[in-house]
Amino acid sequence: MQLATFEEYQQAKNQIIYGTEFKEYSTLENGQIRKQYATIENGTFYEVTDTDTHITEFWSDKYPNSRYYNDSIPENDVYIFGFMPAKQTNLNTFYITLSNGITIDITKNPEHNGSIWAWKINTQIFSNDQYAEQYLKKTITEKLTRNRIIYHKKNEVPNICGIEGVACRNPGRCNSALCSHCPIAEKFFADRDNVKLIYSF
């Protein structure tokens, strides 16, 4: 196998999955994280990561010759998702710095509650690249504009939570099913993230 950089790994993956729909399959077997990214147009991208050595072998249907990169080899400048410039700090941890000086922390293959996940963006955990990339783009937009666009009208507080939420079931957490689309929860998270809420309708 030929040694590759993290950037070359990302480029190889994007040659298969970027700009097209794909399904991600992931298993953890004998200390190895095995992933497949299946597309209709471009075939499948494969990767196998050893959790002890941090070595990832990768190949695809289009380019069957496997290569590998080693997370234990530090690289200063890399690209997240193939196009976002980032700094690699240690093994599988990175950060990006926006034009206004705000930084966003990124972890590849984080462990959470006994499972290996695809990405961690700040404190949020994601099971696949697509969701992580969408969330990262949304976070970048909010950090640069200080605005959070809500794509529905401002709803009423659930009746069970009382008038204006005086009987809120999850005060200071807003993490239950009742909190979905609740204006109190939306304001709580906006204040936490230091952004302004803007309702589209």
The series of mean pLDDT values per 10 residues for the chain, 201 residues long, is: 83 88 88 91 93 88 90 72 85 88 91 84 91 94 94 85 74 76 87 90 90
Note the pTM of the prediction, 2 decimals.
Answer: 0.59
Give the model's pLDDT for residue 46. Answer: 96
Give the model's pLDDT for residue 12. Answer: 92
Domain residue extents for the chain: 2-144, 146-199
SS (H, E, C) the chain: CEECCHHHHHHHHHHHHCCCCEEEEEEEECCEEEEEEEECCCCEEEEEEECCCCEEEEEECCCCCCEEEECCCCCCEEEECCCEEEEEEECCEEEEECCCCCEEEEEECCEECCEECCEEECCEEECCHHHHHHHHHHHHHHHHHCEEEECCCCCCCCHHHCHHHCCCCCCCCCCCHHHCCCHHHHHHHHHHHCCEEEECC
Give the model's pLDDT for residue 174. Answer: 78
Give the model's pLDDT for residue 131. Answer: 93
Angle at 53 between CA 34 and CA 48, to 5 degrees: 15
Give the model's pLDDT for residue 51. Answer: 83
